[in-house]
Chain A
């Protein structure tokens, strides 16, 4: 069966510090991968998605970047965090093949920027 991991679970960082959040998927190959941000426990905002190694699409311009160095690894980064980067970050995956496939979400990372 497939599993998705995210770490760390929680993170408190000062403004201006760098960020690296990691997501890995097990039990599948060639997945689509996604990073979302959820503010204040409500709606999800798609930040990045990837259909393959080194292929990143950004949905909104922002202070963040994403990379996919391996097939089942997806990393969210920032060089200098802003207060507005605080939120709950969710990684998700879906099967590459298939038009109707649902996404499966990781447990999330709670980021607080002070």
Chain B
């Protein structure tokens, strides 16, 4: 069975500092991993995905994620946080048995402090 875990409910970071939002996964087979962001009362926006290839994946709004097979992790990163990055972040893994279904983590609320 596929699953993802986001161990931190809340992450606080000062504006201008690097940020990391953690995600670990459990899959049988090759992992297909995704990151989404959700602003208040809005739908989720796709940030980036890992399918295969380079372990460092670059996405929207300056975000990137590092795939680490040995640690089964897919942490989201950004070199310099903006106040506007404050939002809810979801990691997801593709369900290999369903119609392109995704299993989502419970989300991490990122707050960037001015």
- Which residues of chain A have a CB within 8 Å of any CB of chain B? 6, 32, 34, 41-44, 46, 49, 51, 57, 88, 90, 92, 94-96, 98-108, 110
Contact = CB atoms under 8 A, between A and B. Distances in A.
B44 interface: yes
A11 to B, nearest CB: 14
A41 B94 CA distance: 22
Contacts of A105: 36, 43-45
Contact of B100 (A6, A103, A106, A107): A103
B43 A99 contact: no
Interface of B: 32, 34, 36, 41-46, 49, 51, 88, 90, 94, 98-102, 104-107
Nearest to B34: A102
Contact of A104 (B46, B98, B107): B46
Given A100-B32, A101-B100, A44 B90 contact: yes
Given A43-B106, A44-B90, A49 B41 contact: no
B43 A107 contact: yes
Contacts of A107: 42-43
List the 9 shortest-distance A-B pairs measured between CB atoms, nearest first. A105-B43, A43-B106, A105-B44, A44-B104, A100-B51, A102-B46, A51-B99, A94-B100, A107-B43
A23 to B, nearest CB: 11
A100 B96 CA distance: 10
Counting chain A CB atoms within 10 Å of each CB, which of B90, B100, B107 scores highest?
B100
A46 B44 CA distance: 14
A100 B43 contact: no
B94 A100 contact: yes
Contact of B43 (A49, A90, A102): A90
Given A103-B46, A108-B43, A49 B107 contact: no
Given A32-B100, A49-B99, A43 B107 contact: yes
Contacts of B46: 102-104
Given A42-B106, A104-B46, 5 more contacts: A42-B107, A90-B43, A92-B44, A101-B100, A103-B102
